[in-house]
Amino acid sequence: MPPVQAPFPHARPRRLRASPARRALVRENTLTVDDLIWPVFVRAGEGIEEPIASMPGMVRRSIDKLTDAAREAEALGIPAICIFPYTDPSLKTADCAEAWNPENLTNRAIRTIKQAAPNIAIMTDVALDPYNINGHDGFVIDGEIRNDETVEALVKMTLAQAEAGADIIGPSDMMDGRIGALRQALESSGYQNVTIMSYSAKYASAYYGPFRDAVGASGALKGDKKTYQMDPGNSDEAMRMIARDLSEGADMVMVKPGQPYLDICHRVKTEFQVPTFAYQVSGEYAMIQAAAQNGWVDGETVMMESLLAFKRAGCDGVLTYFAPAAARILNG
């Protein structure tokens, strides 16, 4: 039934906007701290917080400093952090063996943070790019990004992360068949409670530029990622990827980037009714920060508005570099 509305002046929609109290009563969507996942960068060393020039306000932290930050995030009520490593270039190889080293930076960080901040969920990134000499998410053999060999490596990487204590595995590589392979490996290795949040609809986007600086991948990447990440023109294909990943055992799905793909978020939630997340990526973050620093927009208000948009689109939550800043505002 279409909504019934009296003709003017009996209906004056402005009445419901007339005061903060009435606006609050009829607000359809709200952002809460429970909606936030905070992506963070870890690097080697001790006592280090190194600013990332292309992401003002974000830093790369050594494990000790990251542990402090995780404790703070836990105290703010943020449910999860997502760890991305800045890998020393000397550890990047064509066989990407560092990716499944139980003692790599990510796995050491997981263990330390689990001890110090047991109530915050730890999400990880599953893709070979931080460890790959050529910056790709998959093995490059004879100039081709190889799918099935990569999936085998992703299984080893995932099991090492699960062993270290990861709660949520985030395969961001966009290889075919990886969710089924990871789910099966987790099940048969005793990690049946490890959650998979699949980067199901990950687009080949220029909005990732600042992130590649943050993890030191910009120099390494040869070519582009268009043979595995999705074409920005496609929407039906995203639905097929979501359906496939769910059928292979994903618990939650993600759309990435966020704001330029809100139509995809809305379609996913409407068509599948599953836990749906968006990643507000580095370029989105950098654009808001740059405009705010120049005094062109009110940074805090735009930040909160940009995050609320994900809820309105139907997302259950959002990965955002703004998580602590937003949590501070939401906590009053």
Residue 172 touching ligand FVT (CB under 6 A): yes
Binding letters toward ligand FVT, positions 197-236, x by CB under 6 A: -----------x--x-------------------------
Residue 282 touching ligand FVT (CB under 6 A): yes
Q: Which residue reads 């139980």 in tokens?
A: 102
Residue 96 touching ligand FVT (CB under 6 A): no
Q: Would you call the peptide bond into 257 cis, given omega within 30 degrees of 0 as the criterion?
A: yes
At CB < 8 A and 24+ separation, what contacts does 289-292 make? 289/55, 289/56, 289/57, 290/56
What is the Cα–Cα distance from 1 to 288, expressed in whole angstroms? 40
**Least distance in angstroms from the C-beta of 285 to ligand FVT:** 7
Query: Which among 90-98, 105-113, 180-188, 279-287 is the span making contact with ligand FVT, rule CB under 6 A?
Result: 279-287
Between residue 5 and residue 64, which ones bind ligand FVT under the rule CB under 6 A? none
* Under 8 Å between Cβ of 204 and 230: yes
**Least distance in angstroms from the C-beta of 315 to ligand FVT:** 16
Residue 87 touching ligand FVT (CB under 6 A): no
What is the Cα–Cα distance from 78 to 327, expressed in whole angstroms? 7
Residue 281 touching ligand FVT (CB under 6 A): yes
Q: Which residues contact 144 (CB under 8 A, 6 or more apart)?
A: none
Residue 124 touching ligand FVT (CB under 6 A): no
Binding letters toward ligand FVT, positions 236-275, x by CB under 6 A: ----------------------------------------
**Residue 231 backbone phi and psi in degrees, to 5:** -70, 125
Enumerate the active-site residues: 202, 256
What is the Cα–Cα distance from 50 to 129, expressed in whole angstroms? 21
**Least distance in angstroms from the C-beta of 79 to ligand FVT:** 19
* Strand blocks (E) in 77-217: 80-85, 121-126, 139-141, 144-146, 168-171, 195-202
**Least distance in angstroms from the C-beta of 73 to ligand FVT:** 17
Residue 125 touching ligand FVT (CB under 6 A): yes
Binding site for ligand FVT (CB under 6 A): 125, 127, 172, 208, 211, 281-283
